[in-house]
Amino acid sequence: MATQKLVAPPARAAMFLTLTVNDGSEEAVRDLLTGMSGFTRSVAFREPDEHLLCVVGIGSQLWDRLFPNLPKPRGLHPFEEIKGDKHTAVSTPGDLLIHLRSGRLDMCFELARLLGKKFEGHAEIIDEVHGFKFFDERDLLGFVDGTENPEGDRAEDAVTIGEEDAAYAGGSYVIVQKYLHDMAGWDALSVEEQEDAIGRSKLDDVEMDDDAKPANAHIKLNVIHDAEGKQLQIMRDNMPFGSVGEREFGTYFIGYAKDPSVTEHMLRNMFIGDPPGTYDRILDFSTPKTGALFFVPSVDFLDDPTPRG
Ligand code: HEM
């Protein structure tokens, strides 16, 4: 079963496109999806060292329109808003997510341009973010982001659907949120206060001792376990983005998981708190403007959409 390539070393550049599909364009879009691997090869092959990757996700409502006669992937549903006392994880529209990564932005841009032409008349691009890697793999809050991501087999295991939903084995789920930061507020904190918010040191990226980590630290709320005590993991590929003129400084959060309830559990911890009330301190300086969930089919399904297993 060929999977879309999700696990890869951090890329230098990324683009995130969210699309809604026009009524009546279902057949055209089904066809276009079967061509995605070919479109990607057309651009990637010209600069193989730049490792251009394209991942496509399908939203719940579009799934029902494209494949009304197929069983629904088990974890696929519209992203549900999470309302905490102070902060809300909003749910916003999205039929398709296209996640492009490469060593160079021009590679992402060229594929996006090609896809834009192909989808023209059939879908609208309602959100487009160009992400870049910042010094030392840091986010715009100044912290190294991605350190504790699973790697290799552990990452594959975290993101790849297996026998639990055999018809869609080799697929995955992805949740995205576009966050904007209040940089003035964040910069007004001392470095120690910022470190308390994340749960790691800023300069050298070392995790705080457990007894020193505040209950509302980002990593305290995002380290979660199953009933047997095994840590539940997702694979993140966050990217900074922004516009100096618009005073826009953001983090595009993207988390892949074989079971989206793991990411949703993390989000509940962040927005509601665990215990309730201890919401994630980074939310006082980070506001999600979007929120959506997509099923990421295997390449085999994309090329020939019939379920297996
Ligand atoms: C860890 C930043 C949103 C899940 C981290 C770390 C940073 C960070 C700096 C520590 C280094 C690392 O291990 O990567 C951010 C920023 C966000 C954001 C700036 C958005 C504004 C999210 C969201 C989730 C999440 C929405 C989950 C739904 C995690 C997880 C870890 C982590 C699982 C690793 C915890 C561990 O194993 O130590 N994040 N994050 N993050 N974040 Fe986030």
Compute the distance from residue 264 Cα to the ligand 1 centre, in Å: 13
> Tell me, what's the pLDDT at 130?
98
Compute the distance from residue 268 Cα to the ligand 1 centre, in Å: 14
CB of 302 shorter than 6 A to ligand 1: no
User: Which of 134, 236, 266, 284 to mutate to test ligand 1, by most ligand atoms within 8 A of the CB atom?
Assistant: 236
Atom of ligand 1 nearest to the CA of 288: 21
Residue nearest to atom 10 of ligand 1 (CA): 145
Compute the distance from residue 223 Cα to the ligand 1 centre, in Å: 9
Residue nearest to atom 16 of ligand 1 (CA): 251
> Distance between CA atoms of 259 and 261, rounded to whole angstroms?
5
Q: What is the ipTM of this complex?
A: 0.99
> Splitting the chain (309 residues) into consecutive groups of 10 residues, what average pLDDT does each group show?
87 98 97 96 95 98 97 98 98 98 98 98 98 97 97 97 96 98 98 98 97 97 97 98 97 98 98 97 98 97 79
> Tell me, what's the pLDDT at 309?
57
Residue nearest to atom 18 of ligand 1 (CA): 253
Positive or negative, the Cα torsion across 153, 157, 159, 165?
A: positive
> Distance between CA atoms of 132 and 104, rounded to whole angstroms?
9
CB of 301 shorter than 6 A to ligand 1: no
Residue nearest to atom 32 of ligand 1 (CA): 219
CB of 253 shorter than 6 A to ligand 1: yes
Q: What is the DSSP string of the chain?
A: -PPP----SPPSEEEEEEEEEPTT-HHHHHHHHHTHHHHHHHHHTTSGGG--EEEEEE-HHHHHHH-TTSPPPTT--PPPPEE-SS-EE-----SEEEEEEESSHHHHHHHHHHHHHHHTTTEEEEEEEEEE-BGGGB-TTSSB-STT---HHHHHHHH---GGGGGGTT-EEEEEEEEEE-HHHHHTS-HHHHHHHHTB-TTT-PBPPGGGS-TT-HHHHH-EE-TTSPEE--EE--EEEEETTTTEEEEEEEEEESSHHHHHHHHHHHHTBTTBT---GGGGSEEES--EEEEE--HHHHHS-----
> Tell me, what's the pLDDT at 211?
95
> Tell me, what's the pLDDT at 136?
94
CB of 143 shorter than 6 A to ligand 1: yes
> Tell me, what's the pLDDT at 3?
79
Phi, psi of 224 (to 5 degrees): -125, 160
Cβ neighbours for 46, distance < 8 A, ≥ 6 positions apart:
none
> Tell me, what's the pLDDT at 307?
65
> Distance between CA atoms of 267 and 272, rounded to whole angstroms?
8
Compute the distance from residue 72 Cα to the ligand 1 centre, in Å: 29
Phi, psi of 7 (to 5 degrees): -85, 115
Compute the distance from residue 219 Cα to the ligand 1 centre, in Å: 6
CB of 200 shorter than 6 A to ligand 1: yes
Active site residues: 145
Tokens representing 177? 């949120």
CB of 179 shorter than 6 A to ligand 1: yes
